[in-house]
Structure 1
Amino acid sequence: MSEQGAGDRSGTARSAAHGWGDALVMVLAGLVVMAVTAALGLWAAGATALPDGAFPRVVAAVVVMAAGGTVDLSGNAGDLARTRADLSVLPLSVTLAGALVIAAGFLRPLSHRAVAGTRELAGWAARVAVLWALVLIGLSLLARQTFAVAVGGPTGTVISDVFDASPEVGFRADVLLTLVLGLIWLAGVLVLALLVSRAAPLPARLVRFQESVRPAAYAMVALLLAYVVLGLVVGLVVAVTRGHPAETFAVILLGLPNLVWLAFTLGLGASWEGRVDGPFGLPVPHVLDSVLRSPDISTLDVTTLADADARSWWLVVVAAVLTLSAAFLMAIRSPARMPPRQHAVHMAVGLVLTVLTICLTARISAHFGLSLLGIGDVDGSLGGQVTLRPRVGSALALAALWGLVTGFLGSLLGSRVLRRGEVAG
């Protein structure tokens, strides 16, 4: 009984070390980083010129989407006109910034310990979740606004002058759905943080899995971050040498991972399909926009990109080098006794899950249209659409193949490196 009482007091003391105060600081830090990143990106994109002081509400909407929430678009053009609007996109730069800060704050009180109790971890996560839920509710209530749409051409003139109906489009965050999806997003961030960090403790029942899971998880996160760093360097060079720095920084601050992780899957041989139509487009390199801007759905892969720019073949080279580097990193963080075939399987599973995550988060769907008296298509001259979605089955199959090959090769390369805790013979 005395040992159990001592254990309870020890657990209470450990829990007090990361209580509500630490949870509040962590949540506020994540919120501030996400809001600042979104605000700077929107400022670079020119969103400060929006009417009615809507800029803070747009920032809130971007943060809601970045945290996995849902923002619904609505349109109105009076009784005689019809509008349609929808938007589904994750600003992954904002998502990544918030995830890194929240993960670091979650792990800080847990570092340099071998084991943590399930109750302790659950209590720490619950505190964070409660405060994050309050943040999501506040952002959802703030993220709502309606704008008048400036239209031109004969249809727009008739609507505005004759029928006295000004087209409007607005957005409104779905509070309940944002709360549910945002908490799922937070749970994913916290679980991934525990899986990636070598210093973070695990419950005793899960310790036996860390040798097989943690090296692969760490390698996959390092691979994704390496692509982001490489894309950041390229973006800064483009901003300095080719002009239009504001547009480039807007892409960097809002959607850099969307582009570079898409490029990663293309380098693995995956195919996407999409279309860019109307006055709206993707803030992407010209070669990508030219492939997608066609009357029908276009196939996006390395071959179609190379038809427009032969330098696109470098995507395959970069993917091969960085994926093999990730496999090598996984190997040197794994026990030396692990055979190469097991490395290959772990790498394949990790890469399949990584590519699946990219396929689910990097897809884009945006649409706006306007018609008069039900005549004509809402996708006409006053509308536009942007779609980009992956061919998931082939992408996952290619990821499994790349994982098996690079995992095996990475194990062979890693066998020549002295692991932590080993003694040279």
Structure 2
Amino acid sequence: MSSAPSRPAAPGSPWRHTLEGALSVAIAVLVMAAAAWAALAALGAGAIAPVARLVPMTVSMAVGGGVTVESAPSAGAADDGGLGGGLGGLLGGSGGGGGGGLSLGLSGAAAVTPLTLTFLGTVVLAVGFFRPLRRRQRPAPALLWARCGGALVTAAAVLPALAGTARGTARLPESVTERFGRGASSGAFSRITGGSEGGGLTKGLSSVVFETDAVATAFLGLLWVGAVLALGCLAARHTTLPRPLALGRLRRKWNAVASTLAGTAAVLCCSASAVALLAGAAALTGRERAAEAAGLLLLIGPNLLGVLLTTGLGTSWEAGVHRIQPDGGGMLGMLGGGAQGGGEGTDTSVDLGGWSGVGVPLWLLGMFLTLLLLVVAGYVAASRTPTRTPREESDALLDRHVETALRMGIAVGVTALVLPLLARGSLRIGISLMGNEMGGVTAGLDATSGLSALTGFVLAALAGYGGSRLRSRRVRRRGLAAQRPGTAPRRPAGARSTPSRVTSDPTS
């Protein structure tokens, strides 16, 4: 005896939807913080700054916030040992907290998005927001708006508060301060400091104060939450949405492609997280390199995948480190330090597209992997696209395979423009003396999109068309096999046919 299907629960009150929307954002931020703590612990970041301060900074960067650093005020004064001779003593260099004399200052900014944390927060937010609606009656549009309002208000309150706690003092590694000391003791700068090996000047660079822009974090965080909810309303499958949205033209046409591409991205990001977990397990055996690899993958695993895939689409990626010289300006230029020309030889730049790790250029590996994924995505999208009725088929302007291909091309072309903006990163550090910039260094991973959007559109359209054709051919073969005599499966004698349950919203 077959049991009757359970009736869906009531849609709930507006306050319940508001609370569930708020909880989805709060849990997403907690998961991001836990993953950031695990990554920073694996990297040994506690030796530089308290992890309790670094975790909110990392989470703020995951939603788009930037970090600025400057010399710690307590370390800005130089001591007598470094300024006792030379021009430093003439300019009033005194010890301890006198506040006079020469002192080195450091300022900089870092902008990088740890996409692993962004991915985890996106998944938890989307599941917590849409999944509870699956077994309920179809909600009214007002209830969905209440749910979105709870999520956005919580994000507007939590993210600025989190960015406000993302400030503290970090100790620079000795290798960095020693390099500053060697730079300070060379050329014209050594004549200022009396020939010391950096002396008390470099003590101003032993620690820095970092902080996060709360306003930018709040704005970009709200933009992130809004984008997740908007794309979720378009791509979510196992949920129940208001009828005007669920049966709308936009969702009916784009749900199959959007859900397929979102699922493909989730599989790739989960693969990077799985590799990070394996590296973490290997680190338990005492392998320090494995721990560092696990920490990096827990932060920037999807960034590396984004570089690989967009390189195959034609995006030019360049990783480099460049020194900043005053070019004859400032105090160093007046004393002849700007003409030393030693900084040009230390600049490094690597074109990642032409890099070959296993004898094959990276762009070729990226193109092959991208084509393979897009063919599979085209096949899955075709299987999720509702079958047309004869009337719809006759009224349609384009064939269903061509429509799937065009939608895949548009979605991938837009992604090829957005993903490099998210995957790149930059770091700038400047050293100043008495308010004049003496030099510095910039490092980063930058991208030039070029024709990658057009290339992505063409490749995705061709791969989507091929995948849709493969799906149609397989369905045709199954139909022919079912029509052959003697091939139909036999049912047991006592079996009863039960009507299949059809939902009122086939695309949800």
List aligned pairs for 1:13-162, cutoff 5 A: 13-20=12-19, 22-51=20-49, 54-75=50-71, 77=76, 80-112=103-135, 115-149=138-172, 150=174, 151-152=177-178, 153-155=181-183, 158=196, 161-162=199-200
Show the counterpart of 1:273. Answer: 318
Question: Which ranges in structure 1 are unaligned for 5 or more consecutive residues?
Answer: 1-9, 279-292
* 2:305 is the alignment partner of 1:250: no
Question: What are the superposed Cα offsets for residues 172-225 of structure 1, whole Å, 9 maximum, x if unpaired?
Answer: 122222211111111111122222211334444442222211111112112212
The answer as to whether partners of 1:129 and 1:183 remain within 8 angstroms in 2 is: yes
The answer as to whether partners of 2:170 and 2:209 remain within 8 angstroms in 1 is: yes
Show the counterpart of 1:328. Answer: 379
Q: TM-score, normalised by structure 1?
A: 0.81
Classify the secondary structure of the residue corresponding to 1:341. helix
Question: What are the superposed Cα offsets for residues 302-354 of structure 1, whole Å, 9 maximum, x if unpaired?
Answer: xx112884374433322221121111111111123362111111000111122
- CA distance in 2 between partners of 1:294 and 1:319 (Å): 35
Of residues 327-336 and 113-122 in structure 1, the stretch that sits farther from structure 2 once superposed is 113-122
Of residues 115-124 and 323-332 in structure 1, the stretch that sits farther from structure 2 once superposed is 115-124
For 2:263, which of 210, 214, 222 is the aligned residue?
A: 222
By how many angstroms is 1:163 displaced?
Answer: 4.6
TM-aligned CA distance change 1:412 to 1:308, over 3 Å: closer
- CA distance in 1 between partners of 2:26 and 2:148 (Å): 15
By how many angstroms is 1:299 displaced?
Answer: 3.0
By how many angstroms is 1:229 displaced?
Answer: 3.5
For 1:181, which of 211, 220, 223 is the aligned residue?
A: 220
The answer as to whether partners of 2:65 and 2:111 remain within 8 angstroms in 1 is: no
* 2:420 is the alignment partner of 1:359: yes
The answer as to whether partners of 1:71 and 1:172 remain within 8 angstroms in 2 is: yes
- CA distance in 1 between partners of 2:36 and 2:321 (Å): 24
The answer as to whether partners of 1:227 and 1:261 remain within 8 angstroms in 2 is: no
The answer as to whether partners of 1:222 and 1:326 remain within 8 angstroms in 2 is: no
Question: Which ranges in structure 2 are unaligned for 5 or more consecutive residues?
Answer: 1-9, 78-101, 186-195, 324-344, 389-398, 484-508
Of residues 172-181 and 199-208 in structure 1, the stretch that sits farther from structure 2 once superposed is 199-208
Question: What are the superposed Cα offsets for residues 152-184 of structure 1, whole Å, 9 maximum, x if unpaired?
Answer: 133457586345851242221222222111111
By how many angstroms is 1:17 displaced?
Answer: 4.3
Of residues 320-329 and 191-200 in structure 1, the stretch that sits farther from structure 2 once superposed is 191-200
List aligned pairs for 1:303-314, cutoff 5 A: 304-306=354-356, 309-310=359-360, 312=362, 313-314=364-365
* 2:300 is the alignment partner of 1:300: no
- CA distance in 2 between partners of 1:200 and 1:417 (Å): 29
Q: TM-score, normalised by structure 2?
A: 0.69
Same amino acid, percent of matched pairs: 28
- CA distance in 2 between partners of 1:298 and 1:23 (Å): 45
TM-aligned CA distance change 1:270 to 1:165, over 3 Å: closer
Show the counterpart of 2:439. Answer: 378
Show the counterpart of 2:402. Answer: 341
Larger Rg: 2
The answer as to whether partners of 1:220 and 1:354 remain within 8 angstroms in 2 is: no
- CA distance in 1 between partners of 2:359 and 2:210 (Å): 38
Give aligned pairs, total: 390
TM-aligned CA distance change 1:227 to 1:277, over 3 Å: farther
- CA distance in 1 between partners of 2:356 and 2:201 (Å): 49
Classify the secondary structure of the residue corresponding to 1:378. strand
Q: Which amino acid in structure 1 is aligned with residue 377 of structure 2?
A: A
By how many angstroms is 1:253 displaced?
Answer: 1.1
- CA distance in 2 between partners of 1:177 and 1:327 (Å): 37
- CA distance in 1 between partners of 2:104 and 2:161 (Å): 34
By how many angstroms is 1:101 displaced?
Answer: 0.7
Show the counterpart of 1:166. Answer: 204
TM-aligned CA distance change 1:235 to 1:147, over 3 Å: closer
Show the counterpart of 2:462. Answer: 405
